[in-house]
Structure formats: C-alpha cells, structure tokens
Amino acid sequence: MNSNYRDPLGDGKSRIELIGHLGDDLTIVNDARASFEKTSSVLTEKDIRLIHYLAAHNHTSPFRGVVFKFKVKAPLFVCRQWWKHVIASNHNDEQLGWNEKSFRYVAIDDSDEFYIPKVFRKQSASNKQATEGFLPAEDNEKAIAIYEKQCRASYEAYRQLLALGVGREQARGVLVPSVYTSWVWTASLQAVLHFIDLRMGEGAQTEIAAYAQAILELIKPIVPHAVEAWSNHRNHRGF
C-alpha cells in the first residue's frame, strides 16, 4: 500500500496521515558531511554505508535533520501515551511539535466518535500492564455491548450538559478516554524511530503499536536505508 495514510485500528475512524516531510536518506549523509563542507545530490553505495556506520556508532544527530509531520486521529488514551514522548513531541520546550484539537473549542456532535474494540484481550496474569489471549466469543460480544453502552451514555451526558448551557471545557469531563481526538505531530526521524522502537516493543499496548506500525510503513519509502540501518542497530543507545 503506497497511500500516505492508514487506518491503524481498522474501524474506519482511526487515522494517521503523513502530511509532509523535510529530507530523506540523502539529507542524513549531507548533514553528516557538514563537518567537511561537502554535499551530494545523488545517494551512492558509499552514502548508504555511511548511514549504516552512523547508526552503528550512535552518531545520531544527522537523523534529526529529517523531519516528519503527521495528522493523527486516535482515542484519547492512545494520545495520552503518545504525549509522554517529550522529545518526539517537543513539548518539553515550545509547542512546536504537538498541536491538538481542543474540546474547549470543538464540541463532538457524533455519538460514533468513540473507539469500540472489536476484539477484547484478557488481563495478563503475570504482567500488570499487559494483556494476553482473548475473551471467548460469547464474552467478547458481551464486552462489546458493555463498552458501547458506556460510550453512548457518556456522549448522552455530554450532550445534555451542553444543552443545559454548560461550557464545553467542563462538559468534556464526562467523555470516556475512548473518545477520538486529533493532533498534528512533528518529529525528527530519530525521535520517530525511538517512538516506533518503544511502542512496537515488548509491553506496548496493542492500539498504540498499531499506530507505530503504520508510521513505520509511511516513512519507509522516504528513508528506506535509514530504516534498515535503524532496524539493524535498534538496541543502540541513540535509538
């Protein structure tokens, strides 16, 4: 699939779109060679070897010269996990890398704007933050019904509060974390790879892992050699 967007949760509502980027594999080698005041216009085999060398030796700053901008639509609980990536989102400094929909400005007006899982995973017995295996089909159907009912009830309460004249900023408090929100995420290649590494790694929640997988697919055609070098050296400090 070559399109510039994905529906990571497969419900027709989730979305991640690559809306722009600065640089590619060639940018990495040109940035790395800035110290020699040299630039190339065509990526050569030697350049590709340099990308692998940089990744292997924690020479990570050239991977920050490539920047990606994504428009993300995800459940609030995924957004909350994503936001912990302070470097990737630049919100430790200025609000350069993260601009989010505000429920103070925009009211939700669609009871379907919630993520309703189709498949429920069981709580892991050995890992407090993980799930393992799935609910049997009959219980899965019950879980879907309970989940959907609660989302609809939260939406109803929200609309009733708005109808009473309550401000959006307070009414949003009754919305459940499965409600969809959206934001624009601007991050360097290094930060994006670090995000993918952690969020596709062991212990990551399935839903955010699906977004990380989608990001990997979206950036790979732009920086194929960097992605290959990163995947060969993932356990290095820089990534």
Ligand X SMILES: Cc1cc2nc3c(=O)[nH]c(=O)nc-3n(C[C@H](O)[C@H](O)[C@H](O)COP(=O)(O)OP(=O)(O)OC[C@H]3O[C@@H](n4cnc5c(N)ncnc54)[C@H](O)[C@@H]3O)c2cc1C
- Least distance between ligand X and beta carbon 28 (Å): 19
Task: Determine the residue with CB nearest ligand X.
Answer: 87
- Least distance between ligand X and beta carbon 205 (Å): 7
Binding mask of the shown chain, residues 31 to 70, with x at each position contacting ligand X by CB under 6 A: ----------------------------------------
Near ligand X by CB under 6 A, which window of 22-30, 65-73, 85-93, 140-148? 85-93
| C-beta of 21 vs 199, nearer to ligand X | 199
Does 191 contact ligand X by CB under 6 A?
yes
- Least distance between ligand X and beta carbon 89 (Å): 7
Q: Identify the residue among 26, 55, 88, 212 touching ligand X (CB under 6 A).
A: 88
Does 203 contact ligand X by CB under 6 A?
yes
**Could you give the residue numbers annotated as active site?**
199
Task: List CB contacts of 114: < 8 A, sequence separation 6 or more.
Answer: 75, 151, 155, 176, 178, 179, 180
> What is the C-alpha separation between 130 and 181, in angstroms, rounded?
24
Which residue(s) pair with 105 in the sheet? none
- Residues of this chain that interact with ligand X (CB under 6 A) are 84-88, 129, 191, 194, 198-199, 203-204
